[in-house]
Structure 1
């Protein structure tokens, strides 16, 4: 057992995140007007900035993304009698709260509103406290090189090869903890590429109008699909950043890349606007009206992320509108008009799916013993009412479909309109099946993601397409 104290950095070392970035994101979500003060605080120094932010945020430190491998090693060092010091450039109030939760540190040294305890300032503080070469230090960045220069031994965490070589030149490396792998799979989950399936709704107006042979329409819709997908990814990233605390309290969402600390917050802050601008550039090739629908979608999703998702019922209505907006944007890209029937069917069906999503979340929270959903306006006792409204909305969409199939327009579009009536029992089964799975607790956080992996849903979709195709082209005999 070493008699030398072990000094541990916090941001990016003990945590897979940075508390300054976490503070800014929380302020942006809860009190966006305060962000206007950030440049003025920064002019007074980073220590002043961190102090002002710390007094205006409140974290549930139990859900933060800790470096568990390092933390378990530190606990073992503590059991062996080693003195552990948390030394960080984060504000003292935040550092103390984390230290009290972990209950393994003998001392906390941090920024105090006057001195930003990073780099050479941290090195001076440790030299004054312990003496040069009288402590071992755990860090993760180039800012820590000034500290390692006066440390006895180094433990390097979340490091690059270049940083590792620099540390080797300054002191002996006792141990290292490599960075989590940032591969394509992590980025795919951050972009929510599986959610791009929703943007296939852009093609619905073309299919409904039987314009599959129009090459120009296909070209416009493919570009529109890519544009919408990039826009959606930018919104998902922004939403994940604003929803960090709620996601970390969810049994599945806590594994999302930003909530888990697999991707730094600053990368998301830079990436979201880049994706949105790329989306607008692609949208220019589709048309001005499509751009307007795209901007409306972006604005509505931002409003949803910032506040609507916390409003009972309005959140589900907004989700239904976001689905329907894709169909409206698709009609614009294909330069087609939409019928009342398609819009009515879509709104009721998507409202039902939005209620499925919320019902599934309520069931998860209910099983966890919670009375209220964090970051939402619902109580778990609302689940039964949400279920009733969702099933009613789903059946209302099928009623609209049945009325549409009895209209004169069907006779002009389909050779065998009587065959198309089989779409009604197929939809009745699928809506009932989705709600049955939700009731049994088998529903994914997103019903469309569940549907594309569910054999019964895929079979229902195939049968629905076959019925429409036979109705359109007739039987081969």
Structure 2
């Protein structure tokens, strides 16, 4: 290698890609063989480089799906057009790094970690100095561990925010520093997307028992319902993070899900795991303040959700039954939180309604992506059957409600016949959401879509009016 050559050395993790290859391997291992992760501490005992090599050998077939930093790629291409030699120099396992480099077609050579040497920090600085010579190469990196390499380089290309770039510039004594954007940074907006805060609206179902039992003016019951709501929010968000980590590869192939925080690299995987554990702990803490039966309902919700993430969602029609069950567990949990038994009528209405909405959710996803249809185990005929079953299930929920107004409501309302008027807003809402889905307007969970659609609040007001006219005891 002529030392007079214009050389640009590029880091991989957090620089060329908006993620970390080691944590990508961990996420892939979690999906493919979660029990294998128990061996990781033993591997790390033999050295970080050894662990990287073993994980890369077993789970390293994802090089074409990593989120590339477009700003870094643009800078590399600019330097390459100017005649620079581009080298990938990374702490990632060398064999995996070679696959990633081959995918990009940007590099003249690759240097990565071997089974015995972790090419990071001082080790990387020593290698670059040996091959290119001190001050005879530029280096692009993203973390404080790259400082030893920048100190040996000619120009420091820093991927990160303005403050970090300025810190590196001062550390290098004002040496030429180029800031490059596009790196993954911790942000509140990315965290909210990771926990899917917009999905918390579904957890309002825990208040159904409080409202239907007419105990909404009881302060203790209201506070318990609020605690149950928070517990379900924390638990659901923890499972959403787990689901997104398991689906990180398939999400990158999906037209809309590729923008999810982990798939896009907007939110670091280790931060996501830490957030998931914190949310799980918060859910346990909230449940501890409520009756034991609520804790059991929440535990069942968590267990079924985890089973859904690992297996159930890939089995046609079993997946929607599980989704309906998860909706219903929110209602059941709300009842347990205030020691209120959920009636047969409310259970029957909920099961049919939630099964219909779960089928609607699946129909929307199947219409968006043929890849999703295959992954979920649905063929074209199954998709049609799902739509028919969903509409029928929603119709049955309206029928159950109508029968309840004549059979089960008389012991709880002074004017139960007024409740029959509630079939109109319920029926119109269900017809409207299926119509919107057929027109491609429903692009998310149907309950979330329902809360976001302003016209539905007029229907809710109409139902509330029927409820008030019925004069609950």
TM-score scaled by length of structure 1: 0.93
- Which residue does 2:202 correspond to in 1? 198
Partner of 1:421, secondary structure, is: helix
CA distance in 1, matches of 2:427, 2:62: 44
Conserved? CA contact 1:5–1:136, under 8 Å: yes
- Which residue does 1:257 correspond to in 2? 261
CA distance in 2, matches of 1:466, 1:189: 36
Partner of 2:156, secondary structure, is: strand
1:170/1:181 CA distance change after superposition, 3 Å? closer
Alignment pair present for 1:127 and 2:129: yes
1:461-476 equivalences under 5 Å are: 461-472=460-471
1:279-298 equivalences under 5 Å are: 279-298=283-302
1:450-471 Cα offsets, whole Å, 9 max, x none, are 1112234333222222222222
CA distance in 2, matches of 1:13, 1:162: 14
Conserved? CA contact 1:363–1:380, under 8 Å: no
1:60 CA displacement: 4.2
Conserved? CA contact 2:165–2:179, under 8 Å: no
Conserved? CA contact 1:156–1:164, under 8 Å: no
- Which residue does 1:300 correspond to in 2? 304
- Which residue does 1:271 correspond to in 2? 275
- Which residue does 2:230 correspond to in 1? 226
1:108-128 Cα offsets, whole Å, 9 max, x none, are 111232322111111222122
1:31-90 Cα offsets, whole Å, 9 max, x none, are 112112211211121121111111222544444221111212212222222211111111
Partner of 2:23, secondary structure, is: helix
1:182 CA displacement: 4.0
- Which residue does 2:389 correspond to in 1? 389
Conserved? CA contact 2:134–2:152, under 8 Å: yes
CA distance in 2, matches of 1:340, 1:473: 19
1:473 CA displacement: 5.7
1:416 CA displacement: 2.2
1:206 CA displacement: 1.6
CA distance in 1, matches of 2:287, 2:186: 30
CA distance in 2, matches of 1:174, 1:381: 59
1:400 CA displacement: 1.5
- Which residue does 2:431 correspond to in 1? 432
CA distance in 1, matches of 2:450, 2:105: 45
Count residues in correspondence. Answer: 468
1:180-231 Cα offsets, whole Å, 9 max, x none, are 5644322222221121111111110121122222222111111121122111
Partner of 2:254, secondary structure, is: coil
Conserved? CA contact 2:214–2:472, under 8 Å: no
Alpha carbon RMSD of aligned pairs, Å?
Answer: 2.0
- Which residue does 1:361 correspond to in 2? 365
- Which residue does 1:6 correspond to in 2? 8
Conserved? CA contact 1:127–1:150, under 8 Å: yes
Conserved? CA contact 2:225–2:337, under 8 Å: yes
1:4 CA displacement: 1.7
Q: Unpaired segments of 5 or more residues in structure 2?
A: none
Alignment pair present for 1:35 and 2:37: yes
Q: Could you tell which deviates more after superposition, 318-327 or 114-123? A: 114-123
- Which residue does 1:177 correspond to in 2? 180
Partner of 1:11, secondary structure, is: coil
1:243 CA displacement: 1.5
1:315 CA displacement: 1.3
Conserved? CA contact 1:319–1:351, under 8 Å: yes
Partner of 1:176, secondary structure, is: strand
- Which residue does 2:117 correspond to in 1? 115
- Which residue does 2:409 correspond to in 1? 410
1:289-320 Cα offsets, whole Å, 9 max, x none, are 21111111111111111222222211111111
CA distance in 1, matches of 2:326, 2:442: 21
Conserved? CA contact 2:352–2:393, under 8 Å: yes
Conserved? CA contact 2:165–2:177, under 8 Å: no
Conserved? CA contact 1:191–1:236, under 8 Å: yes
Conserved? CA contact 1:145–1:167, under 8 Å: no
Partner of 1:55, secondary structure, is: helix
Conserved? CA contact 1:13–1:140, under 8 Å: yes
1:281 CA displacement: 1.3
Choose which of 326, 330, 335 in structure 1 pairs with 2:334. 330
- Which residue does 1:346 correspond to in 2? 350
Conserved? CA contact 1:202–1:221, under 8 Å: yes
- Which residue does 1:214 correspond to in 2? 218
Partner of 2:157, secondary structure, is: strand
Q: Unpaired segments of 5 or more residues in structure 1?
A: none
- Which residue does 1:89 correspond to in 2? 91
Conserved? CA contact 1:246–1:375, under 8 Å: no
1:377 CA displacement: 2.7
1:431-450 equivalences under 5 Å are: 431-450=430-449
CA distance in 1, matches of 2:171, 2:267: 29
Conserved? CA contact 2:6–2:83, under 8 Å: no
1:62/1:144 CA distance change after superposition, 3 Å? same
